[in-house]
């Protein structure tokens, strides 16, 4: 199996070009086949380098497959001055791709937990989200994966995750209905068992 290693001048600007990952011939050929099937000519000037760009873009879109989301929760802190109330990271922007049509999913997520014995650096919640989002997804599973990962590895008293996203498989094809978003949620522990706590965390998220 041979690979393409060339630089892509269209991807650079004033900065020094970054090395490009090699693209197997069979991957580039698959993109060319798709271009021909769509009705275009992959040999024309504007599409010559498209197979390489598409292949590298998909490697980037799906980099979450090479990442362990739980790793981001491995370093915790116990010195929090006795704080034991809700920790919330709100409106985290993310991008993913639908596993049914490979179409973009673009949205925001709010992630909250009720600490047990320790807390985690707040940016780690976003890293968990991105590690799962950078895979082929359905929104329901993404929501559950983020919540379950935090619950299983951080050991909090409660977890709540709400995701609000737009799906190009609906807005740009099929029913073609733009301006519509889908909301999914998962609540665990205290947030599920105690109605008052659930209402509090959802209100803080804006729901």
Per-residue pLDDT of 17-51, as tens digits, reads 667 899 999 999 999 999 999 999 999 999 999 99
Q: Which residues pair with 97 in a beta bridge?
A: 104, 136
Question: Which tokens belong to 95?
Answer: 């991008």
Residues paired with residue 120 on neighbouring β-strands, in sequence order: 76
Query: Tell me: the pLDDT tens digits for 45-98?
Result: 999 999 999 999 999 999 999 999 999 999 999 888 888 899 999 999 999 999
Distance CA 195, CA 34 (A): 51
User: Tell me, what DSSP letter sits at residue 172?
Assistant: S
Q: What is the pLDDT of residue 18?
A: 62
pLDDT of residue 143: 98
- Tell me what pLDDT residue 82 has: 83
- Is pLDDT above 70 for 1? no
Average pLDDT over every residue of 14-18: 60
- Does position 163 have pLDDT exceeding 60, yes or no? yes
User: 106-144, pLDDT tens digit by residue?
Assistant: 999 999 999 998 999 999 999 999 999 999 999 999 999
Residue 20 gets which letter from DSSP?
P
Q: What is the pLDDT of residue 20?
A: 85
Q: Confidence class of residue 201 from pLDDT cuts 50, 70 and 90? A: very high
Its pTM stands at: 0.89
């Amino acid at each position: 199996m041979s690979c393409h290693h060339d630089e892509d001048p269209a991807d650079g600007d004033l900065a020094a070009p970054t090395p490009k990952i090699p693209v197997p011939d069979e991957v580039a050929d698959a993109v060319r086949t798709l271009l021909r099937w769509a009705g275009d000519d992959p040999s024309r000037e504007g599409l010559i380098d498209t197979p390489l760009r598409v292949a590298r873009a998909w490697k980037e879109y799906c980099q979450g497959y090479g990442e362990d989301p739980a790793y981001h929760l491995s370093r915790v802190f116990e010195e929090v001055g006795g704080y034991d109330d809700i920790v919330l990271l709100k409106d985290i922007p993310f991008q993913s791709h639908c596993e049914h049509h490979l179409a973009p999913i673009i949205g925001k997520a709010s992630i909250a937990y009720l600490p047990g014995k320790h807390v985690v650096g707040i940016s780690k919640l976003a890293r968990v989200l991105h590690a799962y989002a950078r895979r082929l997804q359905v929104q329901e599973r993404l929501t559950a994966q983020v919540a379950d990962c935090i619950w299983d590895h951080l050991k909090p008293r409660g977890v709540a995750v709400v995701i609000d996203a737009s799906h190009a498989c609906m807005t740009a094809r099929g029913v073609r209905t733009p301006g519509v978003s889908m909301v999914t949620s998962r609540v665990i522990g205290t947030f599920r068992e105690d109605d008052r706590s659930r209402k509090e965390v959802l209100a803080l998220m804006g729901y």
